[in-house]
Amino acid sequence: MAHSPKIPKVLLGITGSVAAYKTVELIHLLKKFSEVHVVITEAGSRLVPEKELRRASGFPVWKSLFKGSTPIPPGTPSGSHPFAVVPHIEFTRQADLVLIAPASADFMTKAAVGLGNDLLSTLCLYATCPIWMAPAMNVNMWNHPAIRQNHKILRSRGVRFLGPDRGHLACGDVGEGRFVEPTEISFQVETYFKSHGSWRGKRVVVTAGPTQEDIDPVRFITNRSSGKMGYALAQAALNRGAEVTLIHGPTSLAPLTGARTIAVRTAEEMRLEVHKAFQGADYLIMAAAVADYAVKNPAKSKMKKSKGVLSITLRKNPDILGEVLNKKKDHQVVVGFAAETDKLRTHAKAKWAKKPCDLLIANRVGGKDSGFESNHNEILAFSRIFSKPMILKRELKSRLAEKILDIAGKIGETLLPKGSPR
């Protein structure tokens, strides 16, 4: 008789952020693939009715540390089990993921210092499963040095962060601190459960963001790449259990929990790090927007403004993708990117003919709703496993990243294993 697949258990922690009102929607989304149990703080309970959370999850809502106001875990024999006194221990032991959404500034501070003065903070101290947080707060709170330090501390302990996003906030301000949409949180959780471990043992190198080429000590040439596509690809590989090295140019994105991160600035610095990391890689994903040109003779001191026209001589930067293709081993999968403003198919096809990587991802840039600086992208994918370019329509970069890795994984399965003769 076939056994039903195990339904993952999510412990959803709700704290005192205004975004708590979105958690009912989040529960409904999470319930499509998991069992959701809710733990709420006292402040959180002032913002969203517990009866709505109970109706959405189908289980009692937990709030207190103490027996009498906290439900006993289902199936626990009354009065006979030691965990009847401390039910949070047994419940957390069964969880596959602790998701704090929204995570307030107050709760992040508690978690960073290891305070356990309510049920939710105590559960986080006991939990051995992964802990994720989706912060939501005012932009000034998010940028406060204490909160940024707590964010750094929690990441160093393995806590994964979803967001925050940038946009209009409930207080009327605009900036970073916005709660990630429930659909995106749900997608990340579902993807984690579905794919976790599928790439265990694989070594993935991802490049992301722009490079900067000096004009003088205070000016440089760069481009509008935000690094979001590369970071999404690195996160997708982490979701699958891969060992990930992220080589990135200057970005404002938060570091990824679990990735080996190498910060570079110039194309030459990126070139050196890529060649070192590529030696032991199974997958190399070149999502960075590396500058094609650099200033031939950067000034050693600040160039002064003059009335005349200023001319700068540029030289070509090294072709990193072309170089790694010449060194590529049989088992290695190389994914290249082509950013174009027009004639996407024509220009990308020409690049792929010149640099026949295993997978070439072409995306249109220069617009407002896709490509550079956007959360969305739309791409054409060129590969020898396709009879014609595959079109992936406009979608969030996180979702496209999963699809790109699916294609790269299929390509990897067609290549010779390590050590096999040609």
pLDDT in tens, 274-293: 999 999 999 999 999 999 99
Alpha-carbon distance 16 to 112, whole Å? 17
If you write DSSP's letter for every residue of 136-156 in order, what string do you get? ---HHHHTSHHHHHHHHHHHH
> What tokens appear for 135 in the block?
């912060």
pLDDT higher than 50, residue 82: no
Task: Fold for 198-414, please state it.
Answer: Rossmann fold (3.40.50)
pTM value is: 0.84
> What tokens appear for 248 in the block?
């990135």
Return the pLDDT at 103.
96
Q: Which residue out of 124, 129, 171, 357 is catalytically annotated?
A: 171
Rounded to a whole number, what is the largest CA-CA distance in the chain? 89
How does residue 370 score in pLDDT terms, banded at 50, 70 and 90?
low
CA nearest 136: which of 17, 259, 267, 270? 17
How does residue 1 score in pLDDT terms, banded at 50, 70 and 90?
very low
Q: Please state, as a whole number, how many other Cβ atoms lie within 10 Å of the Cβ of residue 201.
A: 9
Q: What is the pLDDT of residues 167-221, one digit of tens each?
A: 766 667 677 888 999 999 999 999 999 888 899 999 999 999 999 999 999 999 9
301-304-310-315 Cα dihedral, nearest 10 degrees: 10
Return the pLDDT at 339.
83
Alpha-carbon distance 162 to 106, whole Å? 17
For residue 18, the cross-strand partners are none
pLDDT higher than 50, residue 416: yes
Return the pLDDT at 131.
96
For residue 62, what are the contacts with CB-CB under 8 A and spacing of at least 6?
A: 37, 38, 39, 40, 70, 71, 88, 91, 119
Alpha-carbon distance 120 to 116, whole Å? 8
Q: Please state, as a whole number, how many other Cβ atoms lie within 10 Å of the Cβ of residue 366.
A: 12
In single-letter form, the type of residue at position 148 comes to: R
In single-letter form, the type of residue at position 309 comes to: V
Question: Quick one: residue 241, left, alpha or beta (phi over 0 = left, psi -120 to 50 = alpha)?
Answer: left
Return the pLDDT at 369.
67
Alpha-carbon distance 363 to 372, whole Å? 9
Average pLDDT score over residue span 313-317: 94
pLDDT higher than 60, residue 6: yes
Question: In the chain, where are the structural domains located?
Answer: 9-193, 198-414
CATH number, domain 9-193, options 3.40.50.1100, 3.30.390.50, 3.40.50.1220, 3.40.50.1950: 3.40.50.1950
171 catalytic residue (yes or no) = yes
Mean pLDDT score of the chain: 87
- Say if residue 43 is exposed, middle or buried (CB neighbours under 10 Å; 0-12, 13-18, 19+): middle
Q: What is the pLDDT of residues 103-119, one digit of tens each?
A: 999 999 999 999 998 99
User: Which has more confidence, 171 or 60?
Assistant: 60
pLDDT higher than 90, residue 147: yes
For residue 89, what are the contacts with CB-CB under 8 A and spacing of at least 6?
A: 83, 126
Return the pLDDT at 67.
53
Same fold yes or no, 9-193 and 198-414: yes
> What tokens appear for 279 in the block?
């030696």
Return the pLDDT at 66.
66
> What tokens appear for 36 in the block?
């959701």
pLDDT higher than 70, residue 77: no
Q: What is the pLDDT of residues 16-32, one digit of tens each?
A: 999 999 999 999 999 99
> What tokens appear for 4 in the block?
């039903």
Return the pLDDT at 421.
40
Pairing of strands 390-396, 376-382: antiparallel
